[in-house]
Amino acid sequence: MRRVERRGEDAACRDGSPADCERLAHAYATGDGVPRDLRRAGVLFDRACDAGRAEACTNLGVLYDRDDGLERNPTVAAAYYRRGCDAGSAVGCKYLGAMVDRGEAVTKDSRRAAELFRKACQGDDSAACAYLGFKYQSGDGVPKDPERAVELYRRACDGGDVHGCGRLGYCAAVGDGMARDLERAVTLLRKGCDGGDAGSCWNLGVLYDRGEGVAKDRTVAERLWLLGCERRNADSCRELARGYDVGSERGPRDPARAETFYRKACDAGDAPSCERCARLAQTRHDRAQALECASRAIALQPDVAAAYSFRADLRAREHDFDAALADASKAVELAPSQSTYWERGRVYGLRAVHDKTRDPARLAVADFTRAIELDPSKSAYAARGVAYALDEQVDRGVADCKKGIALDPQSAFNHCHCGFVFNVGKDFDSAIREFTEGLRLDPTSGSCYVGRAFALRAKGDAESARNDEEAAKRLDQAW
C-alpha cells in the first residue's frame, strides 16, 4: 500500500505539487516505501525548495551537512540553511546559527549566531532556545544575563529539549541566574542524562563526587562520567583519565587506561588532554601516537608555545629536523622564553650530531646563550657545553658543564651532558665518571648508557660497553 501511495506522490510531484515533492523526498531520504536514494531525495528537496517549501531547503542543507548524506559540502549546506531560515524554517535558522557560531563555511559571528538562535527559538525550536540561553549565560554575542538564560533553558526543557534541562540543572546546582537548589538540580540533571545529554551526565557526576544534593559516591560519579564520555563529553573523559593517571580510591595508577580516556577527551576537542595523551604515548615510546596527539593539541590551540616545543622534540627524535626546527621557531615566536630558546637550541644540537656539521652547533650555542640570559639557573649551561664541544670548542664546553653541575649537582642531565663533552674531547675516564654519576641519579637515562658505552668501548672494555648498550635498548628500542 505504501509503495502505491508513493507512486501517487511521484505523479503529483511531476504535476507540480511542491508538498508532494517534499514528502517523496523524505521517503527517498529515509527509505520509507521506496529504496533509499539520497541523490533522488536531493533533487526532490531542491524542487520543493525552489517552490518555497522552507523545510525542504533545510532538509537539503542537512543532506549536504552530514557525513551520511550526500557528499559533504558545508558551504552548500549553509546556503540551503539560509534559504530555509529566510522562508520560515526554525530548524534552518538553528542549523545556520550553529555554523555561524563555529565559523564553519561562513564568517564566525557570535552576535549573528545569537540572532539566528533567537529567530529559531521564536519559531518554537526548543534546542535553539537552549543555545540562545547559553549565549546569555556566557555573554557571547549578547549582554551577559544569567536570569534571561534561565528563562530560555526553562522554555527549552519544557519543550522537551534534554540539553535545556541539563543547562537549567547546572544553573540550579551552582546558583547562576536563580537560587541554588541542589534537589532540583539533581532532578533536572538526571532527566537530561537519561535523555542522552552528555553534559548532564558530567554535571550530575560532579554532584555525586562532591556529595552535593545526593550521597557522596565516587562509583556512581564514574559511571555517569563513563556515560558522558561515551557521548563525547570531554570533561567526563578527562576526569576519568585523571583518575587512572594519578590513581584514586577505585584503584592504583593505570597509565594505559589513562591514555585511552585522554585520547577520547582529545577526540572530543580538549587540547590539554591531547597534550597529556602525547606525553603518555611518548613514555611508552610510541612516537607515532605521541606525534598524532601533539598535532591534535596544536590544531585545537594553535597559540600555545609549549605544544610546539613538545612536537619539535618528537620530530627531532625522528630526525625530521626541518619540521622540528619549524615547530621550535614557532614556539620562540609565540613565547620567547628560556624554555623555548632551550628547546630550539636542543634541536640544533641534535642536528649537529646527526649531520656531523658545525653550523647547527653554532646556532645551538646562540639559542642556549639566550636561554642563559633569560634564566641562568636552569640546565642550559650543560646543554651549551655540548654545543660548544660539537663546534670544536671543547674547553669552553667543559667550563660550561662544570658551571651547570655547580648550579645543580643533583641533575642527572647535567652530569650526562658533561660526559658527552668529555667524550668529544676524548677524556674517556672523565666521561665515564660523569655518566656513572648521571646514572646513579637517574637509572632510566638511555642516553647516559649510550654515552658511557661509547667511552667504555674507546677504553677497550667491549663487554661493559655491550652491557650498557643492552640496558639502553631495554629502556627504548630506538637506541
Please write the tens of the pLDDT for every residue from 405-439: 999 999 999 999 999 999 999 999 999 999 999 99
Q: Between these two residues, 2 and 215, which has the higher pLDDT value?
A: 215
291-303 residue pLDDT tens: 999 999 999 999 9
Question: Whole-number mean pLDDT of the chain?
Answer: 93
Q: In this structure, what C-alpha cell is assigned to residue 264?
A: 577520547
DSSP, collapsed to helix, strand or coil, labels residue 248 as strand
Judge whether residue 5 has pLDDT over 50: no
Name which of 11-20, 99-108, 447-456 the model is least confident about.
Answer: 11-20
User: What percent of the chain lies above the pLDDT cut of 90?
Assistant: 88
Residue from 71, 63, 140, 56 nearest 103 by CA: 140
Distances (CA, A) of 1 to 11, 20, 234, 279, 436: 16, 17, 47, 61, 86
Domains observed in the chain: 125-229 (1.25.40.10), 232-302 (1.25.40.10), 325-408 (1.25.40.10), 413-479 (1.25.40.10)
pLDDT of residue 476: 74
Cα angle vertex 153, ends 221, 138, to 5°? 85
What is the enclosing helix (H) or strand (E) of 242?
Answer: helix 234-246
Report d(CA 130, CA 94) in Å as an integer. Answer: 11
At how many degrees (to 10) do helices 412-424 and 428-441 cross? Answer: 160
Distances (CA, A) of 291 to 53, 246, 277, 297, 340: 49, 23, 10, 10, 18
Report d(CA 114, CA 44) in Å as an integer. Answer: 31
Amino acid occupying residue 145: D
pLDDT of residue 4: 34
Name which of 3-7, 149-153, 271-275, 296-300 the model is least confident about.
Answer: 3-7
Judge whether residue 9 has pLDDT over 60: no
* pLDDT band at residue 12 under the 50/70/90 scheme: low
Judge whether residue 3 has pLDDT over 60: no
pLDDT of residue 69: 73
174-203 residue pLDDT tens: 999 999 999 999 999 999 999 999 999 999
Report d(CA 80, CA 62) in Å as an integer. Answer: 9
- Dihedral angle computed from the Cα positions of residues 120, 124, 125 and 131, in that order, rounded to the nearest 10 degrees: 70
Report d(CA 32, CA 6) in Å as an integer. Answer: 9
Report d(CA 2, CA 30) in Å as an integer. Answer: 13
Judge whether residue 1 has pLDDT over 70: no
Report d(CA 454, CA 466) in Å as an integer. Answer: 10
pLDDT of residue 240: 96
* pLDDT band at residue 376 under the 50/70/90 scheme: confident
Residues 6+ apart with CB under 8 A from 465: 453, 454, 456, 457
pTM: 0.81
Residue 251 DSSP one-character state = B
